[in-house]
Amino acid sequence: MGVSLISVFNHKGGTGKSSTVCMLSYAFERSVTVGLIDFDPQRTLTSLTEINETFKLPLLENVSKPSQIAKLSQRVIIVDMPPYIIDGALDILKASNLVIMPCKPSIVDAVATIKTYEYIQDNTEVKAVCLLNMVQKSTTITNEVKNVLKEQGVPLLNAALGQRVVYAKALSYGTNIYKAGNRLAVAELDQLAQEILTHLI
Ligand SMILES: Nc1ncnc2c1ncn2[C@@H]1O[C@H](COP(=O)(O)OP(=O)(O)O)[C@@H](O)[C@H]1O
Ligand SMILES: [Mg+2]
């Protein structure tokens, strides 16, 4: 089986794209080889590894084109996309096996996610799914957002990521959730990784 390309994209900033890339990398590396591409000119993931030497991510340097990605030996490549279309971004989306659109449980995020989904539908043949991120327990807004997305035909992953300090810490210090031993976070990340793998088969 060749390399599977996952792009993490949403037209809105702050929805958890870079966090999702980072967490998925920790989850996937337990069972498959993973490489990451920082395609965002803001260079969030790259700068984190530069600021903090203990922040280890399998970032690939100088790989940005589908033709280069196709030659890689890793099983899964995950791309951290910017919140807008830059040069080469559409090529990456088109070459993806799956686009994950993180979305916070808020109506503004839902609207941005619907627009992102429409853009992907209009411009590619690729399957795109929404990942609810920063979900808080005992709030009704998550269900409202789910309903808005469903009404607009946006596919939703069953797995979701909660609003957790451990995720914010992971993105700040490179704390590997699996090594930090946070049971709830590990459980939801495992579920997410499993579900994504079923989309790639
Ligand atoms: N599930 C989560 N729980 C807690 N904090 C989160 C979660 N997801 C993202 N964050 C925080 O939200 C902020 C924005 O996340 P980030 O991944 O940088 O978004 P994006 O890449 O979409 O701009 C960061 O400070 C990050 O630590
Ligand atoms: Mg980012």
Q: Which ligand 1 atom minimizes the distance to the CA of 165?
A: 4
Mean predicted confidence (pLDDT) in 142-151: 97
CATH of 4-200, one of 1.10.1040.10, 3.40.50.300, 3.40.1350.10, 1.20.120.10: 3.40.50.300
* pLDDT at residue 144, as a whole number: 96
- What's the 21 CA to ligand 1 centre distance in angstroms? 11
Distance CA 105, CA 136 (A): 8
- The continuous run of DSSP H or E covering 78 comes out as strand 76-80
Burial class, 63, CB count within 10 angstroms (exposed 0-12 / middle 13-18 / buried 19+): middle
pLDDT bin (cut points 50, 70, 90) of residue 179 is: confident
Ligand nearest to the CA of 9: 1
* pLDDT at residue 2, as a whole number: 85
Q: How many CB atoms lie within 10 A of CB 135?
A: 19
Give yes or no for residue 19 CB within 6 A of ligand 1. Answer: yes
Q: Give the start-to-end residue ranges of the domains of the chain.
A: 4-200
Q: How many CB atoms lie within 10 A of CB 4?
A: 20
Distance CA 177, CA 182 (A): 6
1 has a pLDDT exceeding 70: no
Q: Is pTM beyond 0.85 here? A: yes
Separation of CA 180 from chain center? 21
Protein residue with least CA distance to atom 26, ligand 1 = 168
Q: Which two tokens stand for residue 181?
A: 């031993």
Q: Which ligand 1 atom minimizes the distance to the CA of 80?
A: 21
Distance CA 76, CA 5 (A): 6
Ligand nearest to the CA of 45: 2
Give yes or no for residue 14 CB within 6 A of ligand 1. Answer: yes
Summarize pLDDT for 73-112 with one digit per residue, the tens: 999 999 999 999 999 999 999 999 999 999 999 999 999 9
